[in-house]
Chain A
Amino acid sequence: MNKLLKSKGFQNASASILSIIFGFAFGFIVLLISNPANAVGGFLTILSGGFTGGMKGLGQTLYLATPIIMTGLSVGFAFKTGLFNIGASGQFIVGAFTAVFIAVRATFIPTEILWLVALIGAFVAGGLWALVPGFLKAYRNVNEVIASIMMNYIGMYLVNFMVVQTVFDAARNQSMTPTRAIIPKVGLDTLFNGSNVNLGIIIAILVAIIAYIVLEKTTFGYELKACGYNRSASQYAGMNSKRNILLSMVIAGAFAGLGGGLLYLAGSGKHIQVVDILAAEGFNGIPVALLGLSNPIGIIFAAIFVAYINVGGFYMQLYKFVPEVISIMVAAIIYLSAFSLFFREQISAFFKKRTEGK
């Protein structure tokens, strides 16, 4: 028991949970100030989140979690290797476009495997999009934040242009529906009746587990992390730091790209809109990665958590609240999680005191 309490994982998790609790408290205060009469009902709706709509709500939670698991992984994987991949949004949308393009235009591929090919395409395209900032970072020491932000805009406008050129549904100002390449539901739609959940969530979780194994259990992952901690030291130890930086950026981009594919091939009526707005999912990956402490397994739970309270926020509109309060709460949670160092010290001091007292 003591060993468990002292373990780093436990302290990390309890710091996250503390910030979540404080974040919720803050959200409740915001609700109380803005509308005291409905605050309690609204807050309970947030808490019951995905459960509000029964099985449908739960399925919807998983559906919403799928893309943000992937973008969270993208940001988190890069974090682990010392990079800040703020370009998940661009990689995401480029991956999404590639998936939709293959799904609509690659008519020569048999229907059974088309969705898989399209997803692989998304994976590759996202990786290629991250290759540019990765290359600039590794070989020219250009700050990856700047480079990938720029790539976000290039990606967004390029995708808008390409959608109009190749897979355009002019009547609705959006991309065509990829009817032939919908990701299979594998029975999840009967389990979670009425929701959009599909095989994508399983793929996302599998990818997260693979990412975890690669990062924690392989030499390759160790090298990537070592380069993140200290580039010069890893180089001195004989690692190819340039290649490692390039690869971690590409892998991160590939995750985000796959996320785009998973969302737009879900068959939920989501299309690429031709508007000048960066894809939201890319930025939602940042809080998810931070909340999950950049650990792939943690990211799965963080993404499901964020999706869960978002579903709660959706239902909260019944109480005449505006769902933005969810974003406020997530922001508060992230802000407090920046204090995790402080929390961790407090927690370990608390336990130390208790064991000494005995």
Chain B
Amino acid sequence: MDTIYFVFQNSLLFTVPLVVVALGGMFSERSGIVNIALEGIMVIGAFFSIFFIKTFQGTIPPQLLFILAMFIAMFVGILFSLLHAYASINMKANQTISGTALNLFAPAFAVYTARMVQGVSQIDFKNNFRIPKVPLLGDIPVIGNLIFQNVYITTYIGIGILVVASIILYKTRFGLRLRACGGRVDLRRPHQHQLQRKRPGVWLPGVGGIDLRSMETFAHPLRRFLLRDDEDHRLDLDHHSVLGGSQPRPRHL
């Protein structure tokens, strides 16, 4: 039974970043933009939020720091994806090309900045965000073991985002317009102003970025991720630009 709990808790950990990033991809896809840059947006979000965590660790209580870092990731993700939005909407650029450019840029920028600022490309930080047991709810038999023990707060945030995203997409006027934009390309032409509204749809991957951090428990992904300091560090760049679409592979991070 313990094994089952363990497997379930850990799969939850891996699911959430995938879900959040996939939602980000979904918003762009539905609005008619191929967001091949998800991976790059994730990397840049992760980089800035981890840097933030490293800087402020110890001065701010862990869970608050964690949430603040998530907002940082979101904010950076928005800014970074604006580049993609600008290229594909205002400049009518080939979306594959600008997405690839973002994917190339993000890891290179992260490694470069990290090494210029602190000399090495790994950013070390202490992972003290794990909640061993949610008060009260954690005591519920079975369910408590499954989803209220050994969790990160991101798990619930991720599920919340999933719910909110579904509501936005199917139950609001914004969602309807967004879907209309993506469904018929020619519909967009007479309603240029609607294109502007698509942009917010690109921010979610930034949140996915910070979620990566919650995987640190096992694989020290950031060690391997931000970034190995061997002679072939350029490799990092490339296995990150896997362009996994909405499938960034935790294993390689």
Contact = CB atoms under 8 A, between A and B. Distances in A.
B149 to A, nearest CB: 30
A293 B92 CA distance: 17
A282 B100 CA distance: 13
A106 to B, nearest CB: 29
A146 B247 CA distance: 10
Contact of A283 (B93, B97, B109, B241): B241
Contact of B237 (A290, A324, A332): A324
Contacts of A74: none
Interface string A285-310: 01100100000000000000000000
Given A84-B96, A146-B245, A339-B93, A324 B102 contact: no
A13 to B, nearest CB: 17
B233 interface: yes
B115 A277 contact: no
Given A324-B115, A327-B104, A327-B108, A342 B239 contact: no
B238 A335 contact: no
Nearest to B36: A145
B251 to A, nearest CB: 7
Interface string B218-250: 000000000000001111011101111101010
A105 B242 CA distance: 32
A18 B242 CA distance: 28
Nearest to B112: A324
Contacts of B112: 30, 34, 322, 324-325, 327-328
A335 B101 contact: yes
A34 B116 CA distance: 7
Contacts of A342: 91-93
B154 interface: no
B105 interface: yes
A152 interface: yes
Given A277-B252, A280-B235, A328 B108 contact: yes
A276 B235 CA distance: 11
Contacts of B238: 89, 278-280, 282-284
Interface string A308-334: 000000000000011111111011101
Contacts of B237: 280, 324, 327
Given A280-B238, A324-B108, A327-B104, A337 B244 contact: no
B167 interface: no
B91 A331 contact: no
B244 A338 contact: no
A339 B244 CA distance: 24
A190 interface: no
B94 interface: yes
Contact of A280 (B87, B234, B245): B234
A86 interface: yes
Contacts of B87: 335, 338-339
B104 A331 contact: yes
Interface string B36-50: 000000000000000
Contacts of A330: 104
Nearest to A35: B116
B234 A324 contact: yes
Nearest to B227: A324
Nearest to B240: A283
Contact of A337 (B92, B97, B105, B251): B97
A322 B116 contact: yes
Contacts of A86: 243
B48 to A, nearest CB: 16
Contact of A341 (B91, B234, B249): B91
B105 A324 contact: no
Given A146-B245, A331-B104, A338 B115 contact: no
B105 A335 contact: yes
B133 to A, nearest CB: 34
Contacts of A35: 116
Nearest to A326: B108
Nearest to B241: A283
Contacts of B245: 145-146, 149
A338 B84 CA distance: 10
Most A CB within 10 A of own CB, among B87, B108, B115, B247: B108
Contacts of A279: 238
A309 B107 CA distance: 18
A280 B111 CA distance: 16
Interface string A143-159: 00110010011000000
A339 B111 CA distance: 26
A278 B104 contact: no
B102 A331 contact: yes
A277 B230 CA distance: 13
Contacts of A284: 238
A322 to B, nearest CB: 4
A324 B233 contact: yes
Contacts of B94: 338
A72 to B, nearest CB: 13
Contacts of A34: 112-113, 116
Contacts of A280: 232, 234-235, 237-239
A322 B111 contact: yes
A341 B93 contact: yes
Interface of B: 83, 87, 91-94, 96-98, 100-102, 104-105, 107-109, 111-113, 115-116, 232-235, 237-239, 241-245, 247, 249, 251-252
Given A34-B116, A335-B102, 7 more contacts: A89-B238, A149-B247, A280-B239, A331-B105, A331-B108, A335-B97, A341-B93
